[in-house]
Structure 1
């Protein structure tokens, strides 16, 4: 498939923003390919380069297609100098190279920044690594679970009772890897077009995850003097310590997400719950996490929500501007009108 034909299959509201940007994608599995998938959706020409055995994600057909549809695929034996020379020729005419090799691998193949920038001074190189380019962990292997564990993020993903949750969304790969890499590409391309000089940017997934701990760090500083210690599972502002921002089980074993963090939304929620006596039992009225009244109110809300099935509460809150929603299953979410009844989802639209 030609690049123009590939772009035609992905036509969308923002599909032309990166027209003319050529990306050589050496990455595999999830983080790099999802980053270049976003670039392709925005109009970039993305050429996927795989080893003879193919991307390890290929056996997961649906995943591979979701990440790589519309990308012309080329095969390179990274142990063969003639193939590497051909790859360098491609990179000489590219704007961006994305890789997910461990530190030192690019140098060993003659694909380091010094050599590539001698061929193409404007080339932007973005390397997605687990633990960064330097330091004692730079050469270690890892996956999303390890990055979550080492960053401190996994410890924050606990149920109120303290059990760790094994998320089925790969936050390290996607939020700290793909999204951060895409930002790095766009920023470095802007600089390269302004200065004529490309950069080699490292994106560490573990460090990226750690930067996402902005709320736990801030709220811990706020609540530690009140609790006498750092908040634990179920005690922090957004992980279960507030009655107005919590998950509640319904009569049929489903859950209602109550996100009425601001008092104005909590007031509306109390109207729907038909409990006006709850209105001023809110953290913005002094009912902080860890207080006896906060614990008592959580129990009262839980008892009321548990008295009816999810459909009842979903109907009750459907027209209310209260930040209260049902917790949908994946199938329910995909079929919901919010997502055009199962049509392909794009996060960007022109307004």
Structure 2
């Protein structure tokens, strides 16, 4: 995929909870980084993997009631606000019925609380009626985590990652260097996005959001995957949260379901999630296997991410194969 220009380069991590991860690398970090090759410690903007690396585990660890409406946690949301009735569980399952386009830029100049603005919009479907991938729900989840705990989302996440040994995982921005993979050039003749979130809405929130904004390495994602799989095996709180989250909540397509945040496949045996920039994380708790993909596929053009489909399909096939 580097030869045909789909991505400048990338890293794949694979392994089991019993051993050290293996890494496959290809290409370069980016032309701006000279001949620097990507490796386990190359930092990538993982985009929507933020949902399962930050927001999802934090909701599980704080014991937030999944059946509670978001207005329970968000003081600025009026009781009659359409989105106030949406539950935390519906956010994780992408069944909220909230407005589908994220477009926080439309609120520029408004003085109302962001949660009140989001929840004040008319719903596009009845909550719980069906699956539709909506970032606004996870933005609300990030806001309610902060209000429910009295702490910033990035502080909560930093403590979680430290406890798991994820020493290179942070909310952006991060300093530009040859260890950090640039993403997209938005305007000809201008610098690429490099160390700041590719997601416009996360950028508007200062880089800290429930749906996007995390930067991490393939090595840290392998550490995270190992922690989740070990917790599942040992029946820890984190492992029980993963098991609960792998129960299908809504159908996406035949054989593919949404659990709590994760996509569920292979008859409920595999959980995975993708990031818009060109990242993926796959878990197979029954076999103790995981697979991580980190690329900056949006480097050339946003449409290049669709060219990752064959690689992602192969990854899913590999993780579901008989050991």
TM-score range, shorter chain: under 0.3
**Taking CA–CA contacts closer than 8 Å with sequence separation of 6 or more, which of the two structures ends up with the larger relative contact order?**
2
Name the structure where helix makes up a greater proportion of residues: 1
TM-score normalised according to structure 2 size: 0.21
TM-score normalised according to structure 1 size: 0.20
